[in-house]
Structure 1
């Protein structure tokens, strides 16, 4: 897709710039849905649209082996200049210690660096917005690890044993032990995701409530909504966790996304109480499923067919409650179901006389 010259000129003047110094040739570098291998003249990216972006990189050795991915989110302001320096010892991008006066001098000379700056692929911007539009800056700060970094490989450190554990496991004098140390997640690298209840019903629930909410996950979703400022923030977390998985290659992002999707799709009471939330949920899931490479997504979901199962439940709930839901939500669900059935060949049809939808995966 060819970029209009007037738009390109405006983005050069008004867009953000990421200046990177010292990144080794061959490093895998990316921003949002785009990635490249760094060349000798690479100094960063220009024409970055204002808003939320994800910057990431992976070291590549001489044999072509790619290290785990590291990245960070940043909300670019209009005409912002962000400077990062590559640390070869830790293979990390660190904030540059350039003072504001130096930044302004760099800004004044950006045209001299133009040939070393790659242009942000503006034709991919709409797709990125569809993945992240509900992630607010305030919510981002709550979900991000304290370190501000997103690591595809878990950052682990040896757990410190208690005095009792040390006494119980210390080897006898003159003997050595080869036991591996117990590992734990490095403090500051944990995500600030909402906590998903372990039980689908409240403490002290009656047998009838236990039965009901074991099938209808509205209690779980209610607890999740109680942890966010606005209902749309739950959609923002759905987007954030998915991007962390898809682009950041973080398995924890996938696991959290899966749990959120399952809870939202099975919450019949919440659907009736908050149809606007589900309008956004359907749009978000549509973009996520539509834009992911088909082979990747099928490999992930086919092992237990979880996605077909929970979406069948959601479509059944919307169908059964159609008279009490906005017509645009019902129409959107029907269109989304047809799209999935065509794309993945899943049979998500609902027989009116059946007590529950039957999900059959076809070859």
Structure 2
């Protein structure tokens, strides 16, 4: 961090006091997490803007350490703002703001510098193993997430929990597997001994039965990807728009968003909820939006240089996000991403109307990235699919008498 940036953050950086946190506790903000020490009291020099703070307990057994269920809260920090949170050991979560003593909280807010030597520094610098800093990763993943989008989708309290978050997917009886993070790199914060899902339907039932855990509702935009044709459509229209989701995409944009950037913001927030918050319903909404965008051939004519171009840029950043067993388990169990990139690639090559040049460049960058990172040779897949279609339509294709 250069001196100018340090001076700006010293002047404008926000502070999070996180009081009474247990030692040996997983604590993270945005794209980085630590194991807390006995003197941990929070973080300082936090850049103004939106952030996701999360935490989980750590259990030690003969087989090693196991992380507990991840919980956290979303923050929109103003310059020089001081936020005070306090750990509730009985609930193994932070107290609600309304449960905290207002005078005590205000006293800590005014005298926050008393805790300065016990505060970790927000991770602005790259680590030894990664040239991209955690803050830069966070900015790349949240370019289109506005405060309005976060307020619309997240619970009013801003709280997020892998156990108690529910959404429109919570009533879907599916066969999703159990995905758990098997641990991220833990890095101690130096100085002063400080270190700074399962199926949703069953989860919601358990929460309500227990009567002790707040059910946190995520208000994702309702999109029925299986019904993508107009009401009263002819047989030909039903066939066309069941394959090409352009009608549904345009309707979703018209009915639910002021502009296409808001849809991309929901795509990003869904991904962050899944990748960092470990909320599986976030993955479900992300899948729906990826399906919708990769299968809307006709809409590329008028949205290719804007929505689709920015979508591909976002998808690359999401797929190159920091390593996560949780994410990779999901990709390997339900590899819809490769299939959808193939559909988008074939759509771009088979077009009657040429796609914008910047979109071709973005797609080539995506194909090169997934080939290098995941060994997905989508270009080869597209060639094979084209050869198979040519064979089906050729001289020796089967005929119907």
Q: Classify the TM-score, shorter chain.
A: 0.7 to 0.9
Write the deviation string for residues 109-134 of structure 1: whole angstroms up to 9, x where unpaired: 44432210000011321110110110
Q: Distance in 2 between matches of 1:129 and 1:220?
A: 30
**Partner residue of 1:343?**
373
Q: Distance between the aligned counterparts of 1:297 and 1:191, measured in 2?
A: 20
Higher relative contact order (CA 8 A, sep 6+): 2
**What is the TM-score normalised by the length of structure 1?**
0.83
Structure 1 runs of 4+ off > 6 angstroms? 355-358
Equivalent residue in structure 2 for 1:189, among 210, 216, 220: 216
Equivalent residue for 1:115, pick from 117, 138, 145:
117
| Alignment correspondent of 1:207 | 235
Q: Which residue of 1 aligns with 2:386?
A: 354
Rounded to whole Å, the distance in 2 between the matches of 1:100 and 1:318 is: 61
1:46-85 map, 5 Å: 46-61=44-59, 63=61, 64-85=65-86
Unpaired stretches in structure 2, ≥5 consecutive residues: 126-133, 167-201, 209-213, 391-401
Deviation at 1:80, TM superposition (A): 0.9
Q: CA deviation at 1:30?
A: 0.7
Structure 2 counterpart of 1:303: 333
The alpha carbon displacement at 1:106 in A equals: 4.1
Counterpart contact for 1:45–1:118, Cα < 8 Å = yes
Deviations 1:236-294 (A, max 9, x none): 11100110011001111111111110111000122222120111101110000012427
Match of 1:293, SS? coil
Paired residue for 1:217? 245
Q: What stretches of structure 1 of length at least 5 have no aligned partner?
A: 157-179, 359-363
Provide the rounded CA distance (Å) in 2 between the counterparts of 1:28 and 1:232: 34
Displacement of 1:344: 1.4
Could you tell me which of 36, 39, 48 is aligned with 1:41?
39
> Residue 275 of structure 2 contacts residue 324 of structure 2 at CA under 8 Å; is this kept in 1?
no
Change (3 A) 1:291 1:120: same
**1:233 maps to 2:262:** yes
CA shift at 1:107, angstroms? 5.2
8 Å CA contact 1:87–1:93 kept in 2: the answer is yes
Q: Residue 317 of structure 2: which of 287, 290, 298 is its match?
A: 287
- 2:84–2:108 contact (8 Å) kept in structure 1: no
TM-score normalised by length of structure 2: 0.75
Alpha-carbon distance between aligned partners in 2 of 1:343 and 1:139, rounded to the nearest angstrom? 31
